[in-house]
Structure 1
Amino acid sequence: MKKIVKLVVLLLIVVSCNSNEKEDKTNKVKYPKKTSIKQVSPELKASIIEGKLVYENLCITCHMADGKGVTKAFPPLANSDYLKKKQTASIKAVKNGMSGEITVNGITYNSVMAPLGLSDEEVADVVNYINNSWGNNYGKMLTAEQVGKIAK
């Protein structure tokens, strides 16, 4: 009889701990998946492909492969309210670098982004890539000519 009671108790413990309805008690931001490149014009698609190469060579070290950055060190580009609200400042930062405090998604960052020596075309490509990745969809295609006018 004792063996049966122990077996029933053990079975109840296993069943109660194996619930599929686990509660996510973390306060982490849930990032949407990457935007499909099939949804954009051929010109923008080509720019995004080139921009991904620039990103993977220069930006990925700080902003990470998933665009989430490093909390309190390097701001996220994925789902970034700063990027959405301050496109011009973001383009200038990519072209000319930046320093000083910025607030992204409610978190203050105060690190330095050195100028990367990118051409206007490379800046346009990498911004187009960022603007169309990790759930971002921040508007029209940026051109090298626009970067030249903005980044002065």
Structure 2
Amino acid sequence: MKIIKPIKATYAASLVLLLLAGLVSQPACADSAGIRDEALLKTTDGGQIYAQICQGCHMPKGQGAIGAGHYPAFAHNPTMSSAPYMALTILGGRRNMPAFASRDPGDSEQESFIAPIWLTDAQVASVINYIRTHFGNDYKDAITADEVKALHPGSTR
């Protein structure tokens, strides 16, 4: 019986230390967990933007996915023939896809589960041009950053 009491005391002390450690520890934040690479998000390379943002839902080969949501395929998709349609979708979002342009230039804290990713007009044009020339698509008419800029929701440009 004398051996059991020191074991109980050691167990109790360990439990108290674990509980205290849990109270003072900081939760991991998504941005600090390496989920996305902020340096790569500064690129204007359409392939890198696709790899960092789009392929998580639309898949690496642009085949799309169905499961928890519906993520349309880019591969051999005739809808990709319209660069302005793609730009409007990226800028304003569609169904469960988030917007990648701020609806209000002064509003950096729109409702979102994670910190929003805002793409520049050049990045939007670049990823559109990448998608439209990959995954079996062969659309030669590229969209420009100025054309994307004119499509921003509420734009009078």
TM-score w.r.t. length of structure 1: 0.55
CA displacement, residues 49-99 of structure 1 (integer Å, 9 cap, x when unaligned) = 800011111001000000001047110011112222x43221111122112
1:37-116 to structure 2, matched below 5 A, reads 50-71=45-66, 73-84=70-81, 86-99=82-95, 112-116=96-100
Residue identity in the other structure for 1:128: N
In structure 1, list runs of 5 or more residues that go unmatched. Answer: 1-48, 100-111
In structure 2, list runs of 5 or more residues that go unmatched. Answer: 1-43, 101-117
Residue identity in the other structure for 1:114: P
Percent identity between the two aligned chains: 29
Structure number with greater CO (CA < 8 Å, separation at least 6) is 1
Number of residues of Structure 1 aligned to a counterpart in Structure 2: 91
Distance 1:114 1:130 in 2: 18
* Counterpart secondary structure, 1:150: coil
TM-score w.r.t. length of structure 2: 0.54
Q: Larger deviation: 51-60 or 70-79?
A: 70-79
Distance 1:97 1:53 in 2: 20
Larger CA Rg, structure 1 vs 2: 2
Runs of 4+ off more than 6 Å: none
